[in-house]
Structure 1
Amino acid sequence: MKRTFKSWEKEIINSFIYPYTNGYLEGINDKIKVIKRMSYGIRNFQRLRNKVLCSLI
């Protein structure tokens, strides 16, 4: 625990100072990965692209 804190000290302190996270973008990336898994077999990239874009609206 102590060694982990020492190696990540700067990042941990910054997480308390700055209120920004990348949680929203991680959620979008996860959603795209799920759509890609469900769309296995779509041969047309344009169709897959449109499916991803429509789901993010």
Structure 2
Amino acid sequence: PSIDRRAQRPGLVMAAIYQALLCRIERDAFHVLDRRIALTPLAKAWIAWKTSWSY
């Protein structure tokens, strides 16, 4: 509901960050045992800003 939208924002931001991480893992052909796949802090900040303004 729209009343709870502010309370849901952190969860939506984390979901968007995890979605981006999963897309990067898929793009790297799922080589998660060979190397660590991570998002940069700047990428996380950009996703958080973009997600928080879309809700």
Per the normalisation by structure 1, the TM-score is 0.47
Choose between structure 1 and 2 for higher RCO, CA contacts under 8 A separated by at least 6 residues: 2
Per the normalisation by structure 2, the TM-score is 0.48
Larger radius of gyration: 1
